[in-house]
Chains A and B, each alone.
Chain A
Amino acid sequence: MKYWTIVYAGLTRKKWRTVLTISSIAIAFLLFGLLRSVAVAFTEEVDLAGDDRLVVMSKLSFIEPLPFSYWQRLKSIEGVKQVAHREWFGGTYQDRSNFFPKWPVPPKEYFEVYSDLIISEKEKNDFINTRTGMVVGQRLAERFNWKIGDKIPIMGDIYPKKDGEMLWTFDLVGIFSNPDNLNDEDQAFLNYYYFDEARSFGEGTIGNFVVQVDDKSDNERIAKEIDTMFANSSDETKTGTEASFSKMFASQIGDVGFIMNSILSAVFFTILLVTGNTMSQAIRERTSELAVFKTIGYLDSTILLLVLAESAILCLLGAIIGIGLALFLFFGGGLQDSLYGFFGDIAFKPAIIGSAMLLAILTAIVSGLPPAIFAMRLKVVDALRRN
């Protein structure tokens, strides 16, 4: 890189300008990183073969229960390894701000289907054998300082007990963990059999089923088979992967994709303008220097590339800083966790970094090209006469 000195001199000519330009580009890419990761969660196509678990819910809506009798029929489908189910309990522990999901589940089957939840054999057996049993995630237990043996009072809101009582008390018999996805540790599981017997209505129904398959490439066939099996019955089903289930809510938040894209275009239009302006100013200031370069034999194409290189360095440096900042906020700043509750599981996809770099190069070309062409076409005599 024998031209590095020249590019470097150009960039450091007015240091504050370079720093400010890089900063504003960095801000644009910070927003790009954050908004794209949210938008991707809304709009991304869910890969049906992405998971070995399928969720079966009522076609009518997610709150409509399914009959208990479907359980056996689902188990009998070829290629199905195990079936569990869960139900939305609602309810409040002490105060509304202590919200966490509580799911009545069949203790044995649930931990088989969710084998990524780690729990000791003993605690799992205690959960199976304790009618009023409850197991919670590690993080939840730490949040409320719960220990095994504690009695946990939950004020119901959907389900009263048979005697009309709204207060349910559960015995904490186990604590599970999932180091790979800490968000899993924010839930509590209750013994379905006790719940079903004690609730005042809805007995013998199930919220939704979770079907574990032997081979996930079979997902599409099995999902179709399930929905066909119950088609034209009074409880038709809708089967998809867990990812499509959570996306169902995310995509409903509305025309967020459109709004995100409007914001991003506004941001990038602004940035393009700023960098373009900075570049052309930086080049105009150097008209006589450029003329000198040309006089001593620099080719027009070299001048063009020198100016473009300057613009590329500004944009790429800004993009790297911005995306780095976004990554830091995402993982270091706990943004992923705080968005989780609202937007579902948001991941920072590597594709976002790739498209950011592509966008940086594009910005560099669009904003650097006009001044670069100006510099290239510069007539030496005119340029020197300007002084």
Chain B
Amino acid sequence: MSWLNQIIAVTNMNLRTVLDRSGSSLVVVIGIAGSVAVMVSLLAMAQGLNSTIASTGEDDRALILREGSDSELSSGISMQDINIIENSPGILEFDDEPMVAAEIFTIIDLKKKGTEETSNLPLRGVEEMSFKIRPEFEIIEGVNFQPGTGQVIVGKGAADQYQGLEVGNEIDIRNSKWKVVGIFSTQGDVHESEVWADLTYTQGAFRRGASASVAIVRLENSESLDQLGIFVENDPRLKLKVERESDFFNSQSSGASSVINAFGYTVAVIMAIGALFAALNTMYSAVSTRLVEIGTLRAIGFQGSSVLFALMLESMILALFGGLLGSGIAYLIFNGYTVSTLAGGSFSQTSFAFAVTGDIIRQGLILALVVGTFGGILPAWKASKQDITEALRSI
């Protein structure tokens, strides 16, 4: 019998007896499933946050921020500067108007559903041009706000996560009541976590005078960014910087999820070490209860190495089952599960859905196989080196 056939024969025999040893085999499967489920869910959380932020922004749009500032929250820009920018080449026009909008980005404190403490909810003061610049914007419930009034519209994500943001409700902002008149969607990007209000009304309520946080610009095409950049750089009055909108949100996303990612990997590795001990334990037991079988196989001519490979295969197959089970559990519980968290640069809540992607499942299965391989190799080695007469004597 060839070596490969021996391995197949022994593995086959092992797997058929797995059910008889279901208790201890289950320990391997569930131990590994636990580690994989934890890793997959934490990585899915990081991935969800990351892709929500990174999916925001288009190549043919630019954000103009104060020089030196790297978030909308710390940035500031005067309305005068925005008037200057409107003369720049490379900006698309709509009804003969340059597509430039001044926007305020600030924070209000409201309670999330099911909590007593307040959380930071981003509030964006926008101009009518803001909607034209973002064609992905649509009202999905109620109506848009009336310019110049204290009416607000609420992003879909914010409406889900916060108390009292239903259409018709009122929010207290500095002694005045702001009325929610609509819910909007922006195709799942970060703006759905925000509340939008009229720019001039917001400037008044937040005492911003004639200034905003950023300007958003729709470019003629994605190559026009340089024209705008050169224009801003060459005007000595402007101490501003131009960033492509997609690049801006990409850089924001990396910081936001890196902590969760690091946390996910750390916890998963520690758990995997625990699962490795469990797998070793089970495989050692599996080997020691089968010493007679293994001895018999060796006695009738099976090679030590084929016994070794077959035992390792057994451990890896169990691990793979564990990995699939763990990923499956994580997928069922968490995929699409929506939470909101404090995102780095904006110091405010961003809501996002867990995303269990193929790549994350692949990483989970790799973890399972690594644990299965290491958990199997030592016991298998011990079994294959076992003295045949010793083994048979234990009958």
Segment from B8-16, B145-153, B334-342 that makes contact with A: B334-342
- For B239, B271, B274, B341, which residue has the most chain A Cβ atoms within 10 angstroms? B274
Chain B nearest CB, measured from A122 CB (Å): 34
- The answer for the CA separation of A155 and B69 in the assembled complex, in Å, is 9
Q: Is A206 an interface residue (CB 8 A)?
A: no
Residues of A within 8 Å of B34, CB to CB, are 266-267, 269-270
- Within the assembled complex, what's the spacing in Å between the Cα atoms of A63 and B75? 13
A157 contacts the other chain (CB 8 A)? yes
The reply to whether the CB of A278 lies closer than 8 angstroms to some CB of chain B is: yes
Are B70 and A266 within 8 A (Cβ)?
Answer: no
Q: Which residue of A lies closest to B73 (CB)?
A: A63
- Determine the residue in chain B with the shortest Cβ distance to A24: B277
B230 within 8 A of A: no
CB distance from B158 to the nearest CB of A (A): 14
**Closest Cβ of chain A: how far from B23's Cβ, in Å?**
6
B95-110 with Cβ < 8 A to chain A: 106-109
Complex interface: chain B residues within 8 A of A27 (CB): 270-271, 273-274, 277
A96 in contact (CB, < 8 A): yes
The residue in B109, B259, B273, B340 that gathers the most chain A C-beta atoms within 10 A of its C-beta is B109
Residues of A contacting B24 in the complex (Cβ-Cβ under 8 angstroms)? 277, 281
With A24-B278, A164-B239, A266-B38 as given contacts, are A90 and B285 in contact (CB-CB < 8 Å)? no
Q: Once the chains bind, are B281 and A254 in contact (CB under 8 Å)? A: no
> What are the residues of chain A within 8 A of B273 when measuring CB–CB?
27
Partner of A271, one of B108, B274, B347: B274
- Closest Cβ neighbor of B24 among chain A residues: A277
| Chain B residues touching A, range | 35 or more
How far, in whole Å, are A263 and B74 apart by their CA atoms in the complex?
36
B90 within 8 A of A: no
What residues of B have a CB within 8 angstroms of the CB of A14 in the complex?
288
| Chain A residues whose C-beta falls within 8 Å of the C-beta of B257 in the assembled complex | none
Give per-residue flags for A128-145: 1 if the beta carbon is below 8 A from chain B beta carbons, else 0: 000000000000000000
Cβ contact within 8 Å between B342 and A249? yes
Give chain A residues whose Cβ lies under 8 Å from the Cβ of B68: 91-92, 155-157, 166
Alpha-carbon distance between A278 and B329 when the two chains are bound, in angstroms: 25
Q: A278–B75 Cα gap in the complex (Å)?
A: 60
Q: Is the CB of B30 within 8 A of A270?
A: yes
CB within 8 Å of B: which A243-270 residues: 248-249, 251-255, 259, 262-263, 266-267, 269-270
Q: Please determine whether A270 and B74 come into contact, CB atoms closer than 8 angstroms.
A: no
Selected from A31, A59, A166, the residue in CB contact (under 8 A) with B267 is: A31
Does A20 touch B at the CB level, under 8 Å? yes
Measured CA separation A201–B281 after assembly (Å): 67
How far apart sit A90 and B282, CA to CA, in the bound complex (Å)?
A: 55
If A31-B267, A90-B74 touch, whether A252 touches B69 (CB-CB below 8 Å) is no
Nearest CB in chain B: distance from A252 CB, A: 4
Rounded to whole angstroms, the CA-CA distance of A63 and B109 in the bound complex is 10
CB distance from A68 to the nearest CB of B (A): 14
Check B275 for interface membership: any CB of A closer than 8 A. yes
Which residues of chain A from 203 to 259 have a CB within 8 Å of any chain B CB? 232, 234-236, 238, 248-249, 251-255, 259
The answer to whether A20 and B174 have CB atoms under 8 Å apart is: no
Contact B67 A273 (CB under 8 A): no
Q: How far is the CA of A269 from the CA of B326 in the complex (A)?
A: 13
- What residues on B are CB-neighbors of A235 within 8 Å? 174
Q: Interface digits, B35-65 against A, CB 8 Å rule (1 contact, 0 not)?
A: 1011001100100000000000000000000
Query: Which residue of the partner chain A has the closest CB to B379?
Result: A16
Contact (Cβ within 8 A) B119 A252: yes
Please determine whether B31 and A254 come into contact, CB atoms closer than 8 angstroms. Answer: no
B200 contacts chain A at the CB level, 8 A cutoff: no
- Shortest CB-to-CB span from A43 to chain B, Å, is 11
> How far apart sit A274 and B278, CA to CA, in the bound complex (Å)?
6
User: CB < 8 Å: which of A24, A31, A63, A160 contacts B281?
Assistant: A24
Whole-angstrom CA separation of A235 from B26 in the bound complex: 62
Q: Is the CB of A60 within 8 A of B108?
A: yes
Residues of A within 8 A of B109 (CB): 59-62, 238
Q: Please tell me if B284 contacts chain A, counting CB pairs below 8 Å.
A: yes
Please, which residues of chain B bring their CB within 8 A of the CB of A63?
73, 106-107, 347
Output the nearest chain B residue to A35 by Cβ-Cβ distance. B267
B120 located at the interface, meaning its Cβ lies under 8 Å from any Cβ of chain A in the complex: yes
Query: Given known contacts A61-B106, A266-B37, A274-B281, is B66 in contact with A157 (CB within 8 Å)?
Result: yes
Could you say which of A61, A160, A280 contacts B66, with CB atoms under 8 Å apart? A160
Beyond contacts A157-B70, A232-B175, A274-B277: 6 other A-B pairs, Cβ-Cβ < 8 A, are A20-B278, A62-B109, A155-B68, A254-B341, A266-B271, A270-B275
Interface residues of A, Cβ cutoff 8 Å to B = 14, 16-17, 20-21, 23-24, 27-28, 30-31, 34-35, 59-64, 90-92, 96, 155-158, 160, 164, 166, 201, 232, 234-236, 238, 248-249, 251-255, 259, 262-263, 266-267, 269-271, 273-274, 277-278, 280-281, 342
| Chain B residues proximal to chain A, CB less than 8 Å | 23-24, 26-27, 30-31, 34-35, 37-38, 41-42, 45, 66-70, 73-76, 106-109, 115, 117-120, 173-175, 206, 209, 211, 239, 259, 267, 270-271, 273-275, 277-278, 280-282, 284-285, 288, 339-342, 347, 349
Counting from the closest, the 5 A-B pairs by CB-CB distance are A27-B274, A254-B341, A24-B277, A157-B69, A61-B107
21 inter-chain pairs at a CB distance below 8 angstroms, sorted by A residue, are A14-B288, A23-B274, A27-B274, A31-B267, A31-B274, A34-B270, A61-B107, A62-B120, A157-B75, A158-B74, A160-B239, A166-B68, A234-B174, A235-B174, A248-B117, A248-B118, A254-B340, A269-B30, A270-B278, A273-B26, A273-B30
